Amino acid sequence: MYAIVDIETTGGYANNHRITEIAIYHHDGMQITNHYHTLINPGRSIPQFITGLTGINYEMVKEAPSFSEVANEIHEQLKDRVFVAHNAHFDYSFLKKEFEEAGINWNSKKLCTVRLSRKIIPGLSSYSLGRLAESLGIKINGRHRAGGDAEATSKVFDLLLKRDTDGAIVKALKRNSGEATLPPNLPKEDFDKLPAKAGVYYFMDARGNVIYVGKAVNIKKRIAGHFSGAAREWNRSNIRNEIHHITFELTGSELIALILESQEIRRLWPKYNLAQKQKADEWGVYDYEDRGGFLRFCVNVVKRGTRPLISFSSKGDAWNFMWEKVRAFNLCPKLSGLQLAKGLCFSYQTGECKGGCMGVETATKYNKRITAAIESFFEEGNSLAIIGAGRKSSERSLVLVENGAYLGFGFIDKQETLADFETAKDFIKIGKENRIVQNLVNSYLVNPRGAEVIAF
């Protein structure tokens, strides 16, 4: 037993929008047996462009019931039936959210007529409902209205049932098929080929343009999380509908995945990578002299026009870096911006601070150590190799830092020995330095996460 559903809404994703109309057609596997339809008052205004598309305005729905008022009868229409829709994830996510707010626990097996049509009727130029119906000789009486679109989808589904000679529908209903959660235009073969390894992945549209770049320690798990609807931003239907293919590049280590993702976003400028197109917060370590003549540190967000001594991709990494310097150079946590409370410095009470914060130690003496600490941030000869996992078991990944600055990454055979820094350079591709990559490397050096750090 199937329930073929179409809804109209106030916008494109369930977390911020509401249903304005729903239509449901029942199918017993042989024929359409019944149907249900109602307008719904969304309890909010309907954007003008939505009215232009669907013809539904607030005047039409203001006397209609709210979803909670008809939730039980809609649940009865769907209960114990396989949920079917054209781009099923969209309709299902809205109904799931509305039922949750009405206090009803609803789960259902799902079938997407876009994905099924691609398998059962391959080779069409478009699988949008309008073009698909036209190709199959189905007339839509009321396009972009729930009643007309649900009726057309039910007729499409009826034809798919009759033409499904290879059992695509039965396979799609299997518990672990993954068909119900994948974007409508993505071949399942693309998803099945994804590795459970670290790397960078690319979502591509129908023309092969990269529309999103991401990174992951486990590519397959990360992408499955996008499509399951667990991540709020991935409930937005526009990006799901545009994904036609996925490619990937293995990196072995998480650090190289972070670096490559940042570089690729700046090379390709994909339309859905909004976070890195906007200026991300970075945290810097600044120095200044107080009225007592003491040189001091503070950790703060890097603001335009300011030049920190060193910067990181998170506040935690900046603080951890400063604690290392405090311990290495016997600095005062209070004068280093790490203790904000008034009164005695905690470390002075334990004997680790020499008393600069209490006037016990002179500024001249204290400032010598803080100057040495600053020089150690990017001292000459501070060249490092960060050795991590490789793309395969026989190799290791390699990130080089020369005099504190990111130099590039590459891969090296496990049997190879790095005699010196110049030898190590032979195994990397020199990369273009930018502040985000440098911050990533600085943060990783504070917390190597299992990687080996070799100083030359």
> Residue holding tokens 């000789």?
137
Residues 149 and 39 both lie in one domain: yes
261 and 152, same structural domain?
Answer: no
Q: Give the model's pLDDT for residue 200.
A: 97
pLDDT tens per residue, range 222-268: 998 888 754 455 545 578 889 999 999 999 999 999 999 989 998 89
Please indicate, yes or no, whether residues 80 and 134 belong to a single structural domain of this protein: yes
Q: What is the pLDDT of residue 233?
A: 52
State the pLDDT at residue 230: 47
Residues 29 and 127 in one domain: yes
Split into its structural domains, the chain has a count of: 4
Distance CA 377, CA 138 (A): 70
The parent domain of residue 19 ranges over 2-173
Q: Which pLDDT score is estimated for 75? A: 96
User: Nearest 5°: CA angle at 445, between 321 and 261?
Assistant: 120
Task: Give the pLDDT band of residue 279 (cuts 50, 70, 90).
Answer: low
Q: Strands 245-250 and 395-402: what pairing? A: unpaired
pLDDT for position 144: 87
> Could you tell me what percentage of the chain is helix, strand and coil, using 3-state DSSP and rounding each to the nearest 5?
40, 20, 40
Q: pLDDT at residue 349 above 70?
A: no
Mean of the per-residue pLDDT values for the chain? 87
180 within some domain = no
Whole-number Å distance between alpha carbons of 61 and 20 = 7
pLDDT, greater one: 436 or 161 = 161
What digits encode the pLDDT tens for the residues 28-59? 989 999 999 999 999 999 998 899 888 999 89
Is position 178 within any domain? no
What is the per-residue pLDDT for 178?
A: 65
What's the pLDDT tens digit per position in 174-219?
766 667 678 888 988 889 899 999 999 999 998 999 999 999 999 9
Q: How many CA atoms lie within 13 A of 283 on its CB side?
A: 18
Q: What is the CATH number of the domain that holds 28?
A: 3.30.420.10
At 443 the pLDDT is 84
Contact criterion met (CB below 8 Å) for 202 and 261: no
List the beta strands (DSSP E) in 93-250: 110-112, 199-204, 210-216, 245-250
In a domain, 226, yes or no: yes
Tokens of 309: 């001594």
**What does the pLDDT read at residue 274?**
73
Q: Are residues 12 and 52 in the same domain?
A: yes
Final residue before a domain boundary, out of 377, 400, 423: 377
Cα–Cα distance for residue pair 37/151, rounded to 1 Å? 11
What is the β-pairing status of strands 295-301 and 310-312?
A: unpaired
Query: Is the predicted pLDDT of residue 5 greater than 90, yes or no?
Result: yes
For residues 53 and 164, membership in a common domain is answered with yes
Number of neighbours of residue 5 by Cβ within 10 angstroms:
29
Residue 95 binned pLDDT confidence (cut-offs 50, 70, 90)? very high
Decide: residue 257, CB within 10 A, 0-12 exposed, 13-18 middle, 19+ buried. buried
CB 156 within 8 A of CB 117: yes
Identify the pLDDT of residue 53: 87
Question: 448-453: long-range contacts (C-beta < 8 A, 24 or more apart)?
Answer: 448/386, 449/254, 450/388, 451/253, 451/255, 451/386, 451/387, 451/388, 452/386, 452/387, 452/388, 453/384, 453/385, 453/386, 453/387
Domain end (from 249, 274, 299): 274
Buried b (16+ CB within 10 A) or exposed e, 146-184: bbbbbbbbbbbbbbbbeebeeebbeebeeeeeebbbbbb
233 lies in the same domain as 214? yes
Beta bridge partners of 12: none
Where would I find the H helices in 164-234?
168-173, 188-192, 219-228
Query: What's residue 419's pLDDT?
Result: 82
At 291-314, the pLDDT tens digits run: 889 999 999 888 877 888 888 888
Does pLDDT of 347 surpass 80? no
**What pLDDT is recorded for position 386?**
92
pLDDT in tens, 102-159: 999 998 999 999 999 999 999 888 889 989 999 899 999 888 899 999 999 999 999 9
pLDDT band at 333 (very low <50, low <70, confident <90, very high): confident
Q: Which residue has the higher pLDDT, 139 or 380?
A: 139
* pLDDT at res. 280: 60
Q: 181 lies in a domain? A: no
CA distance 130 to 241: 15
Last residue of a domain, one of 377, 398, 416: 377
Taking only the tens place, the pLDDT of each residue in 431-450 is: 876 778 888 888 888 888 88
- The DSSP annotation for 247-316 comes to EEEE-SSHHHHHHHHHHHHHHH--TT-HHHHSPPP-EEEEEEE-TTS-EEEEEEE--TT---SEEESSHH
